[in-house]
Structure 1
């Protein structure tokens, strides 16, 4: 499988003044990815360039507070390369190399990106792998077709239907696994029966997805469960772009060469996907993804799909499960560090007893955060990530110990504080701290803890006995000394 990122940008590539500066500092911004998938030589690059033209003009309009104008007669499309002829021009997945910052209707900045998935004319397995990967990482998957929606086009969606059923079974509370699927039917031949655009497309799609008794079981199943997997399924019927666009070898992307009815429909479909009122950031299991997390997701999906074999629904589910566990472990570690930062923020040195008490408290909170991660996919995924989380927490504890030692002051009061804990007491509390978190982790691994409800009472009980021992020890020692 070929995965290619398009880095062609700037003044050399965008000759219409839209190049701008490369956006920086967007790692924590929400992202929207619009993908166009389908067979090669069917106009996907051309359609993507229409999206780029709209997005750059929208960005300019928002930044300069000027009226929005696009696809006028003097417009020339640039971006993804295309050409006429029968040979394919692009292979694998191409993604635009510059994020486009758009302000949504809510006022939130969103990093927009466009990508194209292309049939590399090799094997069906490779095509389906590319199709699966693009659908998983996109907010809106545009299925680019010509003439009509055929039965084999729907059959290609069976992989996502099966994955969606597995995901809904395990994590149905988070909503549907995919967001928007848009059928874009190019060169539609029956406008007298179904009007061009979204309204006619809805009527046409309803007729295609109608369930009939004479359909094979596999196609009936796809139709029955397709709506369960996607939040929205829409359809746009597009006219022929005109012979100047389709046949002329000298076509250079000038909007004036497009057939007027085609240009009008482009002006409708693109805002329907990209208008600030309609922007839908990429989300997985109910959580909006940032650009930083999106990179992690892409890497994990590519690792699971690397090879020439057909992607299996279970592979997709396991990849998603690992990503969810990684995110939960990250959130748990952040919670632990924030809690320890608050507990150790005093400039003076802490006793080992108090440091370990804080470690127990915030370590258990972190484990309970991880335990709330949805349980799906292979059973060995969660324990592995839990073990890694424990190692990270222990490493952080050593860091806090070093920082605490750096605060030690060579004064009498500090010396008395440091000597307040005997060696035996320090070993006892240290063992209790490690034991408490280890027992909680073991309970999580064996399934004895449900959503972290049992772990906290057990841990607080342990802490109660530790603290009781700490505060009663001096009184017991004084009573013993008096008796002697």
Structure 2
């Protein structure tokens, strides 16, 4: 929000500021000498909802000098669509620390089911080359194509501004985006099987960011994305290729001796302000796109010079698919600071190419894969946290071995979780907490062995990347945890044993019965004088045990009722066992 305060005396500025900060209305404050007039503003306020900051611009009436005071950032509505800073960059006092915010990422991921497949479009490149501007057009394309309103016009013809509900951008020479930002509104495909995320990154080589931090931003963005757009200005220069090869060297090293497949999926050079169109092709977009492909083939073709050829091989070995597209200059109106995105002020050819490019991108975004396995939303969050931890130590780009280890560890952890889930789901159906029937121990053991083998097989199919010894150690830990889990299921099943606890009643009952029979026998066979003491002792024993059983029965009626039910079950189990033996 920008509010102009016009004053004739500089000493009145502070007074004007105080009134402005206290005011809750949109006002135009005029300060002349010591007189303050407040008028309700109709056109003096320009609001930019896409920005989270407010500034107050003071313009002196006499010499037209300006002073800008930054007010405290406002927190946007969490439910409203906006970009969320998932990676922030520290200041000089914090060593320009690379700080990942997992809670912010999880807040976005939690908006969609965890089993959905993930698609990520990320834009990287030098600063002030229009990355956020491009992503804002991506958002307009997505929103307009999903809408059924005003189908008579092209989607870009309906855009009358580009600063509300988009990634924040602004014209000028100063950098605008710092860190890495993700749009907080995922786009679910029509089939409900995958979800798309858009990611914006801090510009590289901005005279304020170190090479290490630039590598962190580029590297982390590449690890996240399934469709990486490398934004370059006017042409693909050799230094663009060298920087790309440098930042992707770690991925190639991690891939070495493991797989012949390139670790990353899609890289597209987007050449802004393209200057290679032939004049006769200006009305033929198909021919213009063909010339883009020819240009890329020329750029990455084999070279005789060794270092140039190694650079190209490095890039080709890193990305499975490499393409190129060019956008002409959008028009000089875009370079003005007052430009807010009106399509009517832009070059028609730029809009036509932009239309084709947006369709090209979103029709071809692949699902995110790591080591050949398609990643779900839940797994994507785990990988993000694992990779971010590598970049968080003083903004230093990790060693390739560390990157390999983090990737392999996360992959092995996910494989172990999948295997444990397979085992517990099967055992829960057999002897889980919600089961009521007792399972014979031999049958329970057989089910455990079957599910254990299936779980180990599932683990081995997925844990196929990284150090073999560490995978073996993880497998051994999995087997130990399966055995521990089986012990839990055994305890649960034993609690349902119909014979469990019968000794509490059977043993005293047998003692009482034995004492009663023996007393009756002694009374019948012994003389009164000889067996009297024995008979009395047996009588007392029988009486005490009987009273004990009656007291226990009175206080534990429900347990006795359950005991009789267990006896019935036990008899049934015994009869079934006898029947199986005869069969």
Q: Does 1:292 align with 2:366?
A: no
Please give the residue correspondences for 1:46-61 in structure 2 after superposition, counting only pairs within 5 Å: 46-61=133-148
Assess, with a 3 A threshold, how the Cα gap between structure 1 residues 257 and 405 changes in structure 2: closer, same or farther: farther
Whose relative contact order is higher, 1 or 2, with alpha carbons under 8 Å and at least 6 apart?
1
Residue number in structure 1 paired with 2:196: 112
Q: Which runs of 5+ in 2 are unaligned?
A: 1-74, 84-107, 499-562
Q: Is the 8 A contact 2:371 2:465 kept in 1?
A: no
Q: Is the 8 A contact 2:415 2:463 kept in 1?
A: no
Deviations 1:400-454 (A, max 9, x none): 234324534432254468999xxxxxxxxxxxxxxxxxxxxxxxxxxxxxxxxxx
Residue number in structure 1 paired with 2:489: 400
Please, which of 424, 430, 446 is the counterpart of residue 343 of structure 1?
Answer: 430
Residue number in structure 1 paired with 2:216: 129
Matched position secondary structure for 1:169: coil
Matched position secondary structure for 1:71: helix
Please, which of 267, 281, 296 is the counterpart of residue 205 of structure 1?
Answer: 296
Please, which of 167, 174, 179 is the counterpart of residue 92 of structure 1?
Answer: 179
Residue number in structure 2 paired with 1:467: none
Please give the residue correspondences for 1:308-457 in structure 2 after superposition, counting only pairs within 5 Å: 308-344=395-431, 347-379=436-468, 381-409=470-498, 410=563, 411-415=566-570
Distance 2:160 2:400 in 1: 43
Distance 1:178 1:109 in 2: 22
Q: Is the 8 A contact 2:463 2:471 kept in 1?
A: no
Q: Which runs of 5+ in 1 are unaligned?
A: 1-5, 15-20, 421-469, 476-484
Distance 1:65 1:372 in 2: 50
Q: Does 1:43 align with 2:198?
A: no
Matched position secondary structure for 2:174: coil
| 1:295 CA drift (Å) | 0.8
Assess, with a 3 A threshold, how the Cα gap between structure 1 residues 396 and 176 changes in structure 2: closer, same or farther: same
Q: Is the 8 A contact 2:131 2:231 kept in 1?
A: yes
Larger Rg: 2
| 1:31 CA drift (Å) | 1.7
Residue number in structure 1 paired with 2:232: 145
Q: Is the 8 A contact 1:161 1:225 kept in 2?
A: yes
Residue number in structure 2 paired with 1:191: 277
Assess, with a 3 A threshold, how the Cα gap between structure 1 residues 364 and 413 changes in structure 2: closer, same or farther: farther
How many residues of Structure 1 are paired with residues of Structure 2 in the alignment?
A: 401
Q: Is the 8 A contact 1:200 1:237 kept in 2?
A: no
Q: Is the 8 A contact 1:37 1:116 kept in 2?
A: yes
| 1:251 CA drift (Å) | 1.2
Please, which of 302, 306, 313 is the counterpart of residue 388 of structure 2?
Answer: 302
Please give the residue correspondences for 1:176-325 in structure 2 after superposition, counting only pairs within 5 Å: 176-192=262-278, 198-213=289-304, 215-217=305-307, 219-246=308-335, 248-275=336-363, 278-307=364-393, 308-325=395-412
Q: Is the 8 A contact 2:81 2:183 kept in 1?
A: no
Assess, with a 3 A threshold, how the Cα gap between structure 1 residues 283 and 299 changes in structure 2: closer, same or farther: same
Assess, with a 3 A threshold, how the Cα gap between structure 1 residues 263 and 143 changes in structure 2: closer, same or farther: same
Distance 1:419 1:385 in 2: 42
Distance 1:113 1:94 in 2: 11
Distance 1:91 1:146 in 2: 20
Deviations 1:220-263 (A, max 9, x none): 123124333322211011111111112x1111122222221111
Assess, with a 3 A threshold, how the Cα gap between structure 1 residues 222 and 313 changes in structure 2: closer, same or farther: farther
Assess, with a 3 A threshold, how the Cα gap between structure 1 residues 128 and 393 changes in structure 2: closer, same or farther: same
Deviations 1:324-367 (A, max 9, x none): 21221122112212332343376411133332332233223212
With normalisation by structure 2, the TM-score equals 0.62
Distance 1:22 1:66 in 2: 32
Q: Is the 8 A contact 2:109 2:377 kept in 1?
A: no
Deviations 1:113-143 (A, max 9, x none): 1111213632101111111111111010000
Deviations 1:202-229 (A, max 9, x none): 111111112221x342x31231243333
Deviations 1:70-125 (A, max 9, x none): 1115442241101122221111111111111222xxx4542111111213632101
Distance 1:81 1:295 in 2: 25
Distance 2:262 2:153 in 1: 34
